Amino acid sequence: MTVSLTPDYTTLTSPDTKLRLKDIIKTLPRECFQKDMRKAWTAVVVNVLMVGLGYWSIAASPWFLLPIAWIFTGTALTGFFVIGHDCGHRSFAQRKWVNDLVGHIFMAPLIYPFHCWRIGHNQHHNHTNKMDVDNAWQPWRTEVYDNLDPITKTAYTTTRGRLWWLASILHWALVHFKLSNYKTRDHGKVKLSIAVVVAFAAIVFPALFLTVGVWGFVKFWLMPWLVYHFWMSTFTLVHHTLPDIQFKEPEEWDAAQAQLFGTVHCDYPKWVEFLCHDINVHIPHHLSTAIPSYNLRLADSSLMKIWGSKLRRYQFSWGLMKEITDQCHLYHPEEAYQSFKSYANK
């Protein structure tokens, strides 16, 4: 059974209905997809002011308040990434060149090459939770894990456990600067984005060392950057990882099921949501990347009216992170995940 061109909510939620992604998208209000340049540029201005406030707080804080200043500034810098994220999905501005320009500007302070990330990230959206194809937090098969070299195995076990927050740094370093990871047709854009971040680092890093020294570099750039990567690792892990969220074999994979029910909505403290532009209202974003970040909550409200408790909605907590990092380690074809401990005891 398939749904009609004009979706009926009762039909959509029926167990007999073969859900299609396009039918789910049709249930969303048209306003969700409308770009509002006032809202987009207001978010840019506010974000720049918040980052500026963060750096002022780092400069003004006594040593014992520096961790608070670092956390605030790093979280605000994560908002820079989310602006670049909208640009990568072409949901920031109408013109492609504006999206590319703004994306490069806001990702440069993070030393994140815009096109390198954009190209890889689109693969994640096209193949969410598809085994051997999705490139975001995919669990490794046991036969692959068994044959890893000691260094790679240690890195994998470490970043799947309590040090999950290091994963984003490894991903950034190992994936985004390697030309062979991209198709030949994309090499020009990839080289441009790498050149932008190299130029930024070549100007800003020496300037920091010369003006505020090594400690100043650590204080003003490195520590906020590490906080940013903590949020990048955390957000992307929680977005699609729970003990019962199944990665599907390609022949069994279904786009609608993966995007609607394999994506997690997680509520963070309001100040985090504000600084990061509601990126964790994530289910509508996976249904359509055309929805700008400032319209995600409108789309989410619409989805809740139809699917309600069927959607995966959680509150960010240590308990949630403990559950994920204790259990979600290796691929299991029936049980979704198996932990390192349970696998070792077999």
In a 3-state reduction of DSSP, which class is residue 183? Answer: coil
Most distant CA pair in the chain, distance: 68
What does DSSP assign to residue 278?
T
pTM (predicted TM-score): 0.93
Question: Is the distance from CB of 104 to CB of 119 less than 8 angstroms?
Answer: no
pLDDT values of the chain reduced to their tens digit, one per residue, 346 residues: 344 444 555 555 555 568 899 999 999 999 999 999 999 999 999 999 999 999 999 999 999 999 999 999 999 999 999 999 999 999 999 999 999 999 999 999 999 999 999 999 999 999 999 999 999 999 999 999 999 999 999 999 999 999 999 999 999 999 999 999 999 999 999 999 999 999 999 999 999 999 999 999 999 999 999 999 999 999 999 999 999 999 999 999 999 999 999 999 999 999 999 999 999 999 999 999 999 999 999 999 999 999 999 999 999 999 999 999 999 999 999 999 999 999 998 7
The Cα–Cα gap between 49 and 45 comes to: 6
Q: Which phi and psi angles does 338 have, rounded to 5°?
A: -135, 145
The Cα–Cα gap between 238 and 281 comes to: 12
Question: Is the distance from CB of 324 to CB of 241 less than 8 angstroms?
Answer: yes
Q: Are strands 312-315 and 264-267 parallel, antiparallel or unpaired?
A: parallel
Which residues have CB under 8 Å from 196's CB, separation 6+? Answer: 104, 108, 113, 114
Question: Is the distance from CB of 259 to CB of 21 less than 8 angstroms?
Answer: yes
**Residue written as token pair 């047709």:** 185
Which of 159, 142, 134, 157 has the alpha carbon at shortest distance from 332? 142
Q: What share of the chain is helix, strand, coil (3-state, %, to 5)?
A: 65, 5, 30
**Which residue type occupies 168?**
S
